[in-house]
Each structure stands twice: as structure tokens, then as C-alpha cells.
Amino acid sequence: MTPDAHVAHAVQKIFSPPREVCSPQPFRDQIMEHNYQQVSPLATLGEDEFVDLPLLDAISPSMRAVVALIRDLSQSHVPVLLIGEHGTGKQSIAHAIHLNSGGTLDQFQVRSCAESTPDGLDPKLLPPAATLYLSEISELPDDCQKKLLEILAKQGSNGNGHRELRIICANSRDLDADVRSGDFREDLYYRISGVCLRVPPLRQRREDIAHLITFFLQRYSEAYHRPLPTLSSSTHKLFLEHSWPGNLPELEAAVRAIVAVGNESVAMGGLRSLLTRGDSRSNGEKTSLKEASRAASREAERELILKVLTRTRWNRRRAAQELQISYKALLYKLKQIGYSEFGAS
């Protein structure tokens, strides 16, 4: 299948109805959808860090389909609902839609729905010619849901509504259950999801990881005034195979650590166990007590080796004596825990 055929196939998947939630409304012409864990210990950054993310340079079929829709959506003011896991770049996509609107919209305002009040959604206080990005729309209080519905209803009427106000909502999970339970208004759901775009997690767009690594390496090399690192093939392989449950923030934090430490082997010694541990938790596989004990033993051994090496200032022969193992055995264990360049005699 050619690259263009891949994109066409991905776009075709996007135009599919949502799972059973409620009966369609007359004004809901079409639903655009694509396909969407818990943030790992490395995921420390928020999505607002990715405003300058090179989204339009994506090469994966799933993201190229999203990019194509960004260009189309930016030419209208139809409400957009972005669904995707934490850290997938939903705010970046909303910002890209705003920036590609041809200058018709001036401001890009971000609101946290959990902290919203009805007064904050007063039409008199909302700026004209702006994009209003509402994060985690499922957490919007009931009185605010009513207020937002009124705003959207006026925009769809012939009255003097805020025609220049573009509303883009986002959520980290589907709203189906919230609608069925009554926690989220059914009529509001249909209003905000004129177009429902699903943002793929990083594990579903692995083709973009190498480009993102380069982007983050350059960002932090400039920020920290450090030389641009060249990652080893083993680190590249680990990054490409990792499931990245924390998505973009987890990848950024990992690359940032490598630049900040200034030594890939030293940085990866700490990162490798976190990355592999995250994968073992996220794949849903069962772990026996014996396997868990072995994993804990390996981690304790690794920490002890690194502690002794630090104390001996990485004098491997002295460290081997303190650990009461042979020098050759220490070199072998260094290779096992990811310090291969220090595992050579």
C-alpha cells in the first residue's frame, strides 16, 4: 500500500459513527473519528508544553490523517471535540487549528473545565474573534454545562450570538458513559462534537518517534547550552519499541534527561529500568510472585552496584572488591544493567 493509500485508509477510519451512545440529532451531519493509560513516572510535563510541536511534519498514517483534518477544520468554526489519552498533544492540535484559521481568530484561550464557573462562561466576558479551548470537558460542572449549551445554541441561530468564537473541547476518555449516566448533558454532547477527532497515542504512531526525538534533543540542547547528543542504536531501539504510556511528556522527559546529564550511558542507566518497568505494567500480562521477586532482586542489585561505583568514583576493581565479586563478574553485570561501555575491560 502506498503512503497516500495509507492516509486514505486512515481518513476512511476517521469517518465512522461513535459507539452506541444516543440517537443522532438532525444537525449532526457527520462524526469524524480516529482511534485512543496511566502516565508513567517520567511524565511530568503538561500538554501546554507542546504548542510548538512539529505536528505538520508527521509521517505516520494516523497522524497524517489528523494533519489533513487540521487544515480542513481550520477553515470553519464548527465545534470540535478532541478525544485522546493524556499527553497526546490535544492542546497542540487545537492550537494548530487556531493558527491555520487564516488570521480570522486573534486569541487562543485555554480553560480547565474542572475550575470553570458559570460567570467565566458569561458571553459578555468571552472575547470575540477567539478560540476557546476547554480541557477535560467531562469535568465541566452542571451549571457550566448549561451555560456552554446556551452559547453554542446562540451561535447556531440567526440571533446575535458570538459567531467569531471558536470552541474546541478535549477529553482524555470517551464521553459515552458520562452521557448514559446523566453526568454529561446529551444535548451538549451533540453540540460540542460537530466533529469528533480521535488523537492517536504515541504507541500508534511509532513512525514519528525518531523525528520527535530529534525535535526534543534540539530543544533541550539549545535550552541547556549543551552539544547536540547522538543517541546510540540501542537507545534508539529502546525508544522505538517502548509503549510510551505517558505519551509525549514521557518521551520529552526521557530525552531531556539525556541532554541534562550530558552522558547517555549514565542517563539511560536510570531511565532504562523505568521504561522497561512501564512496559511490563502496561501490556496487561500477568506476573507470578517468583518473577516479581526476581525483578525486585535485579533492581536491588543494580542500585547496590551503582552506589558502590559512585562511592569508589567508578574504580571498577575497587568496586568489585567491595561487592565481593570478581572483576570479570562486575563487567558482565554492568553490561546487564545498561552500562555496556563501562562493561569492557
Which pLDDT value is given to residue 277?
Answer: 62
Express each pLDDT in 54-91 by its tens digit.
Answer: 666 788 998 988 888 888 888 888 899 999 999 999 99
DSSP code, position 171: E
C-alpha distances in angstroms, 52 versus 71, 91, 152, 203, 215?
Answer: 16, 11, 29, 21, 10
Q: What is the mean pLDDT of residues 116-120?
A: 90
pLDDT in tens, 315-329: 888 889 989 899 889
Instruction: Out of 9-13, 85-89, 200-204, pick the least confident.
Output: 9-13
Q: Domain span at residue 171?
A: 3-200
172 and 89 Cβ atoms separated by less than 8 Å: no
Residue 58 contacts residue 205 (beta carbons within 8 Å): yes
Tell me which of 161, 176, 200 is where a domain ends: 200
CA distance 164 to 127: 9
The enclosing domain of 38 has a CATH number of 3.40.50.300
Does 181 lie in the same domain as 47? yes
Q: Retrieve residue 103's grid coordinates.
A: 488570521
Which range is least confidently modeled, 8-17, 222-231, 245-254?
Answer: 8-17
User: Do residue 81 and residue 131 come from a single domain?
Assistant: yes
Residue-by-residue DSSP string for 2-34: -HHHHHHHHHHHHS-PPSS-SPPPTT-------
- 206 alpha-carbon distance from chain centroid: 13
Pair (219, 193) in one structural domain: no
Residues 105 and 25 in one domain: yes
CB neighbours (10 Å) of residue 220? 20
pLDDT class of 344 with cuts at 50, 70, 90: low
245 contacts 37 by C-beta, under 8 angstroms: yes
Residues 48 and 114 in one domain: yes
Return the number of other C-beta atoms located less than 10 Å from residue 316's C-beta: 17
Nearest to residue 202, comparing CAs of 40, 323, 7?
40
Number of domains in the chain: 2
- Give pTM, 2 decimals: 0.66
Q: Which of 173, 200, 227 is the last residue of a domain?
A: 200
Instruction: Identify the pLDDT of residue 158.
Output: 39
Indicate if 121 and 230 belong to the same structural domain.
Answer: no
